[in-house]
């Protein structure tokens, strides 16, 4: 049995978090959901579940923002993809190789397409390694 790819979604807007979780699960993607940077870091440090990619809002409540969450994720998984989301225009100086940036409000079909792409890449890691 092939395991499902897993995404960690970090989003402080509860309705958006629920919608993204539901859409990913419909695509066969397992979801870990966090509504704050602190909760996301706890999940990353726990390490009980392999996380194939990260979707994080940049502006999170509390002391830990999305940049910090992504940096912690990248320490453990330097080659796995990260999708950043924000209402702010993309800050070029913060762009991280191997990441994508989506500006809120985004089209759900855009995120669904990204989820499908990430799921396909997670299911075929040999293809990614052969290209690298």
Closest by CA position to 115, among listed 20, 37, 33, 50: 20
Q: What is the mean pLDDT of residues 19-25?
A: 91
Q: How confident is the model at residue 37 (pLDDT cuts 50, 70, 90)?
A: very high
Please tell me the predicted confidence (pLDDT) of residue 73: 93
Q: Nearest 5°: phi and psi at 50?
A: -70, 130
pLDDT tens across 81-120, in order?
888 888 877 665 565 667 777 878 777 777 778 777 776 7
Q: Where is mean pLDDT largest: 55-69, 76-90, 99-113, 117-131?
A: 55-69
Choose between 27 and 124: higher pLDDT.
27
> What's the residue count for the chain?
132
| DSSP codes joined into one string, 15-42 | HHHHHHHHHHHHTT-EEEEESSHHHHHH
The Cα 12–Cα 108 span in angstroms is 17
Question: Tokens for 100?
Answer: 């994508």
Please tell me the predicted confidence (pLDDT) of residue 50: 86
Please tell me the predicted confidence (pLDDT) of residue 100: 77
**CA-based Rg of the chain, rounded to a whole angstrom?**
14
């Amino acid at each position: 049995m092939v395991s499902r790819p897993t995404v960690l979604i970090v989003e402080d807007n509860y309705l958006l978090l629920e919608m993204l979780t539901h859409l990913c699960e419909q695509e066969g993607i397992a979801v870990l959901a966090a509504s704050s940077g602190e909760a996301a870091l706890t999940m990353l440090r726990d390490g009980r579940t392999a996380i194939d990619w990260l979707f994080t809002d940049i502006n999170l409540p509390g002391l830990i923002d999305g940049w910090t969450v992504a940096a912690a994720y990248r320490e453990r998984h330097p080659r796995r993809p990260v999708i950043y989301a924000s209402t702010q225009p993309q800050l070029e100086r913060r762009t991280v190789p191997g990441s994508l940036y989506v500006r809120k409000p985004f089209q759900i079909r855009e995120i669904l397409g990204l989820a499908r792409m990430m799921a396909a890449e997670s299911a075929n890691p040999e293809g990614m390694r052969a290209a690298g």
